[in-house]
Structure 1
Amino acid sequence: MKRGSYIVFILFTVFVFFPLLTTCHRTEKKQVVHNFDYEQIRNRGRLIAITDFNSMNYFIYKGQPLGYQYELLQEFSNHIGLPIQVIVQNDIHEAIHMLNTGEADVIAMNLTVTNERMKVVSFSVPITSTRQVLVQRKPGISGNSGMVLATPEFVKTPAALAHKLIYVQKGSSYTDRLRNLSEETGAGIKIKEVPSTSEDLVEQVARGDIDYTVCDENIARVAAMYYPNLDYSVPVSLEQNLAWAARKDSPELLGILNSWLGSFTRTTRFSVIYRKYFDNARTSSIVNNEYFVLRTGRISQYDELIQKYSAQINWDWTLLASLIYQESHFNPNARSWAGAYGLMQLMPSVLDQFGIDTLASPEKNIEAGIKLIAYLDQQFDPSIPKDDRIKFILAAYNIGLGHVWDAQRLAEKYGQDPKKWDNVEYFLIQKKYPRYYLDPVVKNGACKGDLAVQYVKDVLHLYHHYSNIIASLEK
C-alpha cells in the first residue's frame, strides 16, 4: 500500500470506528434509573440501603450485626413492613452513583447536607446535626500503647492551620469545608484526600501515623473514649445537618421516610439508639474486643475450624458461622431443653450416628454437624438450585427432614413445584392445621413449620451481614 493511501486508511479507521467504540463503551455504563419509587420497591419486596461499615454505623460484634445506622434501618423496616437489604459502601461518591443507577433505594449514612449534594440527591429531613472538627494529638499525653508520641504544632484556632497537611476521607464534605476555610482565612491549608474512612484516619492520628484530620464531632468524641491522646476542641465549621438520601425521582419514598423520621427522631427509642453508639463509654470495650469484626476480622474463636469444615460441604464459611450462631451463639457448652448439645446443637442420637460423644470437643461437634448437613443435602433432588437448596437444608436441620418432605409432597399435590422453596415454605407453615397434617400425603404429622421458616430467614439474614462485613474487609 502506498504511503498516502495508508495514511488515508488510518484516518478513515480512526474517524469511523473510534466513535463507534466509544459509543459502545458509554452504553455499558449504568444509566440513571427513573420512575422507581415506593410502589415499585414494595412490589420488589425489599428496601435496598447503602451504609458504611465502621464501629458506629454498621459492624459485627460477638456474632451480631449492630450499629447506629443498622438499628435505624431496622426501625424503618418495621415501620414500612419490608425487609432491608444492606449494601456496604464506604466511598460516598460511589454510594451516590449506586443510588442514582438503581442499585439501592436510600443511603443510610451520616451525610452532611450540602448544596453540591442537593443537586444529585434528595435529602431526608435532618436526623441529627454536628460540627466538623480538627483531630490532633494532645501534647505530652500517651496513647493506648503507653508511649508519648511526638506531637506537631498544637493547633488552637482554624487560622493556625496555615500550611498544615490535613488528611480527609475521599468524597467527604470535609474537603470542601477545608477549601472554603483556606480561602476565608488565607491559610493555604494542604489537603490530602485518601480512600480511608474518617474513623481510620482518626486512629492514624492517635497512633502518630499522621498529624491531623477532620471529621464530624460525634465521631471524634467516640474515638476520644478509647484514644485518650486525641484532641478535637477546634471546630472548623458551624453546626451542620446530617441526613439520609434518596433519588430525586423517589418523592413517595422520601415522603414516607420524612414522615417516619419526623416522628421517630423525637422518641425515647431514637435517643436510646443514639446514646448507645455516640454517648456510651462502653464503646471502647466493644472496639477493643477480640470479636469486634471490623478491627480483628474475626467473628468467633472458632473461625478457623468453621472455615476448615465448611469447605467440605462447599459452603461459604460465614453461612456456617451464621448457622452456628443461631444454634448456640458460639457457646460450646450450650444445651437445649430438648437435649441438643454443643456449638451445632446436635441431638445425642445424631452424635451417636456419627460416633461422637456428647462431651466431645467443639471441633468434633462441628465435624458431626457437617456430616449431618452433607447427609441432608443428599436427600434432596440434585436439580434444586443452590440458593433454594440451602433453604431446604436449613429447614431440615431445624425441624427434621420428614417435615420438609411432607411439605414438598403437599406442594406437588396442590400443583406447585416442590423444588421451589417459596412453595414448600408455604406448606411447611400450613402443617400446623389439621386439613394439612391429616392429609394422606403427610407422613410425619403436625409441626410448627412457621418456626422453621423463621429459622431459615434468621440464618440467612445473619449470613447477609456476616458476608457483607467480611467481604468488605477483604477488599
Structure 2
Amino acid sequence: MFRMLRALPAVSIVTLPLLVGCGEEPRTDLERIQAAGELVVATRIAPTSYQDGDLGPTGPEYAMAQQFADELGVELRVEVHSGPEAIFRALDRGEADLAAAGLTRTGARNEERPFGPAYQYASALVINRGGAGTRPNDASDLVGKRVGVVTGSSHIDFLEQARAEHPGLAWMEVGEETTEGLLQRVRSGDLDYTIMDSHEFQAARRYFPGLRASLDLSGPRPLAWALPRDADSGLQQRVAEFFDTIKTDGTLSRILDHHYAHLQEFDYVNVRSFMHQVDHRLPHFQSLFEEAASQSELDWRLLAATGYQESHWRAGAISPTGVRGVMMLTQPTAQFVGVSRRTDPAQSIHGGARYLRVLKDRLSGIPEPDRTWLTLAAYNIGHGHLQDARDITERQGGDPDAWVDVKERLPLLRQQKWYSETDYGYARGDEAVGYVESIRTYYDILRRLRGPDGQDTTLARAD
C-alpha cells in the first residue's frame, strides 16, 4: 500500500454547517471528516477505479470521490490497496472513510457492512483465449482447468456455489493482481480462464484483442461504495443523498460517459491491425514522434495515435481532398506551420505537432483531459467549427469546456437549423466525434505498450 495526496481545486463546494464547537470532540463521522479537513478513500489501481495517468489522476471512482469531497468542503486523500480483501481490512481498521473501488454489492457483503446506492451494474464474465475448443458453455467446462481469480473477490462466491454441483471444480486465488495482470496470464497460457466484471473487461480488452468473454455467470449486479462496519447513519445518509443528486442532475451520467463512451464500439480487426503496426510501422517513425512531441510539449504517444488515425503511419498517404503525409496536413495548414513537403515524414510529424500545440494553446484554461480531447476535435474539424459546437453547447445549458457535453452537439453542425446560426457553417461534426474517440483508444493502447521514454512496457513484452 502506498499513499498519495490529491487536493484539486473545488469547482463548486457545498460547505457543511460548522457542527463542532471550539474544543469539542467530533461526535459523528461527518463531523470527524470535516474536522480533519479530508476525506480518505480506499481504492485500487484499475482503469475503472483510479489511475495516476499522464494527464493527472483519473478514473470514474476517483471522479466521483473528488466530487463528493468537494461537496463536503474537504480535500480528497486517495489510499491505494491491492484488492477487495485489503480494501475491506483498511475500512475496518479505520484507515479510510469509505471505499470507492468498483466493488460489487453482494448479499453476503451487504450483511457485513453498509453500502451506498448502486451507481452502475456489471456481470461476472469468464474470460478465455479465442480459438476452437476454448469456449466454456457452462460451469462444468471449468472443471480440470486452471482458473484464477483475485483474492477476496465476489467471483469466489459463484465458484463455491458451482462447486456444489461440480465437485471437481477448483481455482487459485491470486493476491495483488491487477486486471491486466490476470489477462496477461490467460493470454500467455499460464491460466485457462479468469473471471472478471464486465466493466473491467470492457476497459481492458483493447490491450488483449485475442481474449474473449464467453460465459456470464451472474447477470447484472450492483456496484456501490462500501463503508466501514461501524459507519454511522449520518455518513450513510450523506452518501445516499450524494448519489441521488448526481443521478438527478446528470453528473453521474457524464462521469460514466467520459470514462466508458469511447470503449463502446470495439473493433476487433482494427485493434489487432493497430497492434500489428505498432510492431512493424511505428519503429520507423517513433523517434520522430518523440522528438516532435518533446519540442511541442506533448505526449509522443498521443501524437503517434493521431498520426495513426490520420494515415495509419504511411508517409505517402493522400486523401481525395488533397491532404497528405503521416499527419495528413492540408496545404494551408502546412504553410502555416512551415512545412514545404508534406510527404516528408519528419516535416509532416513536426508540423502536425506544432499545429496541435497551437490549437491546444487556443484552448488554454480548460482542465485536462478535456482540453486534449477538444484539441483533437479541432485538429480534425477546425478550431472555428469546434467553437461553433462549444457555443451551441453553452446555449443548450451544457459545459463548453467538457468533451462529454461538446461531443453531443458536434453532430448538430450537419443540421441546417443549427449550422445556419453559427459563424463557420456546415461541418461533419459526427465524424469529429468518432475521430477523437478512435485516437483515445489508440492512445490508451500505446500508453500500455510503450512508456513515456519510448521503451516497451511489461504488457508489450508479455507473450
For normalisation by structure 2, the TM-score amounts to 0.49
Structure number, greater radius of gyration: 1
Q: Which gives a bigger RCO, structure 1 or 2 (Cα 8 Å, sep 6+)?
A: 1
TM-score normalised by the chain length of structure 1:
0.48
